[in-house]
Homo-oligomer: A and B are copies of this chain.
Amino acid sequence: MTLVVQKFGGSSVADVERIRNVAKIIIREKNQGHQVVVVVSAMGKTTDSLISLAKQICPFPSEREMDMLVSTGEQVSVSLLAMALHAEGVDAVSFTGAQVGIKTDSFHTKARILEIKGENIFKALKKNNVVIIAGFQGIDANNNITTLGRGGSDTTAVAIAAAIKADVCDIYTDVDGVFTADPRIVPEAFKLPTITYDEMLELAAAGAKVMHGRSIEFAKKYHVIVQVRSSFEPDKIGTFIQEEGENMENPVITGITSNKNEAKISILGVPDKPGIAAQIFTMLANNNLNIDVIIQNASEQGMTDISCTIPREDLRKGISTSEKIVRELGARGFSYDEKIAKISIIGVGMKSNCGVAAVMFKAMADNKINIRMISTSEIKVSIVIDLEQADTAVRALHKAFRLNEPTMREKPVSCAKKKKAKKK
């Protein structure tokens, strides 16, 4: 018997009709003889409405109380989904994160899962139930309700799949799978049949909204096979996220993403001495700020500028922390810019191919796009540019890397730095 975890996001359960549709997808899976555990997000824009309600009452509400508030969204959708299954004569039981023992740390609104006790899930499965679990939420050591941050339902699904050793974790969403670029920006973008954890991780970090980064880390760590697929067209096979296969001919570039949700902060005129960067980033980390791209300009006359990007929603926290950094380290000042976008190209094939960055930078130059920051990893190159040029950049790159010509993807350009002999 196959054990399947299915995850449905907010848009898949946005109204009564869609909840019924999700019930049908679940029932079809169950009728194939599988055991089904379902993780659900809050209905449609519920979480956003709750946040806006909170902000009417208190402009910067306590994070503990925010978790208490927004976790109700998933509790509503799990119970309604259980009822929709009952209406079709299928046994089902819903659980909150707390009820299935999803233990997290105490970083409210950004908690991390520490442990999941699968006990209640197995008990309910044994009674022939579809088990429906509220995504996005858990409970800390003091029984406070925590949430995993936006998109955390993916993490719940993969973590549950790992805990109960599910055969596959199907992430149902409003797209068919993982595309070479956002089809709304690049109409000729196409769906990838498979992608490696590392590529998907970089795609998520780079701003692809299809899955939450932490969930992919979990999947990679516990070898959970994930399928990203459409809840509107459940017959279509989606994109499988899995280990890099030995026989896989890796395309140079798998995908291109733009992230329009970051802001840039620069600490100006910092005394340039050893340990200063560590001090700055420790202070930022202590304020629970997720730093992304970091650059440090060449030092002049004992002073240096250090810039980084952070999620735009954390800008306020970033500014107050920067004020503190300037004061404590005797820097000259700081500046920030909200109107930036980060464009990334990702591909495992990059490891064995060179000239990728050069192609990227040339495409930018050809389109008169000024590059303001650069950051690279083994399988990714990211650049920060002006927000308003983001879509132009993505289209230019999709064309430059000939992603719209699938046959081209099979022929990576080899170069002197090539690490591995390619297998045919």
Report which A residues bind B (CB closer than 8 A).
Answer: 16, 19-20, 50, 53-54, 56-59, 61-62, 64-66, 68-69, 71-72, 75-76, 78-80, 82-84, 86-87, 93-94, 96, 98-99, 143-145
Query: What 16 additional pairs, Cβ within 8 angstroms, besides A64-B93, A69-B75, A71-B75?
Result: A16-B53, A16-B56, A20-B57, A50-B76, A53-B76, A54-B80, A57-B83, A58-B87, A61-B86, A68-B78, A68-B96, A72-B76, A75-B75, A96-B145, A98-B98, A99-B143
Closest to A59 in B: B87
Please indicate the chain B residues that have their CB under 8 angstroms from the CB of A64 in the complex: 93
Whether A65 and B83, one on each chain, are in contact in the complex, defined by CB atoms closer than 8 angstroms, is yes
Whether B99 and A83, one on each chain, are in contact in the complex, defined by CB atoms closer than 8 angstroms, is no
Please indicate the chain B residues that have their CB under 8 angstroms from the CB of A59 in the complex: 87
Whether B57 and A84, one on each chain, are in contact in the complex, defined by CB atoms closer than 8 angstroms, is yes
Number of copies: 2
Whether B69 and A57, one on each chain, are in contact in the complex, defined by CB atoms closer than 8 angstroms, is no
**CA gap between A19 and B50 in the complex, in Å:** 15
Closest chain B CB from A132 CB (angstroms): 9
Known contacts A16-B53, A56-B16, A143-B99: does B86 contact A66 (CB below 8 Å)?
A: no
Whether A75 and B68, one on each chain, are in contact in the complex, defined by CB atoms closer than 8 angstroms, is yes
Whether B78 and A58, one on each chain, are in contact in the complex, defined by CB atoms closer than 8 angstroms, is no
Known contacts A16-B56, A16-B57, A68-B94: does B75 contact A62 (CB below 8 Å)?
A: no
**CA gap between A83 and B72 in the complex, in Å:** 16
Known contacts A72-B76, A99-B143, A143-B99: does B66 contact A54 (CB below 8 Å)?
A: no
**CA gap between A62 and B59 in the complex, in Å:** 38
Whether B19 and A57, one on each chain, are in contact in the complex, defined by CB atoms closer than 8 angstroms, is yes
Please indicate the chain B residues that have their CB under 8 angstroms from the CB of A83 in the complex: 54, 57-58, 61-62, 65, 69
Whether A62 and B80, one on each chain, are in contact in the complex, defined by CB atoms closer than 8 angstroms, is no
Closest to A87 in B: B58
**CA gap between A283 and B83 in the complex, in Å:** 27
**CA gap between A145 and B71 in the complex, in Å:** 15
**CA gap between A95 and B72 in the complex, in Å:** 13
- CB contact between A94 and one of B56, B65, B78 (< 8 Å): that residue: B65
Closest chain B CB from A315 CB (angstroms): 22
24 A-B residue pairs with Cβ-Cβ distance under 8 Å, sorted by A, are A16-B53, A16-B57, A54-B83, A57-B83, A57-B84, A58-B87, A59-B87, A61-B86, A62-B82, A62-B86, A65-B82, A65-B86, A65-B94, A66-B79, A68-B78, A68-B79, A68-B82, A68-B94, A72-B75, A72-B76, A75-B75, A96-B145, A99-B143, A99-B144
Please indicate the chain B residues that have their CB under 8 angstroms from the CB of A98 in the complex: 98
Please indicate the chain B residues that have their CB under 8 angstroms from the CB of A93 in the complex: 64
Closest chain B CB from A350 CB (angstroms): 46
Whether A76 and B80, one on each chain, are in contact in the complex, defined by CB atoms closer than 8 angstroms, is no
Whether A80 and B69, one on each chain, are in contact in the complex, defined by CB atoms closer than 8 angstroms, is yes
**CA gap between A19 and B71 in the complex, in Å:** 20
Closest chain B CB from A79 CB (angstroms): 4
Please indicate the chain B residues that have their CB under 8 angstroms from the CB of A65 in the complex: 79, 82-83, 86, 94
Please indicate the chain B residues that have their CB under 8 angstroms from the CB of A76 in the complex: 50, 53, 69, 72
Closest chain B CB from A84 CB (angstroms): 5
Closest chain B CB from A61 CB (angstroms): 5
**CA gap between A75 and B76 in the complex, in Å:** 11
**CA gap between A94 and B58 in the complex, in Å:** 15
**CA gap between A87 and B59 in the complex, in Å:** 8
Please indicate the chain B residues that have their CB under 8 angstroms from the CB of A82 in the complex: 62, 65, 68
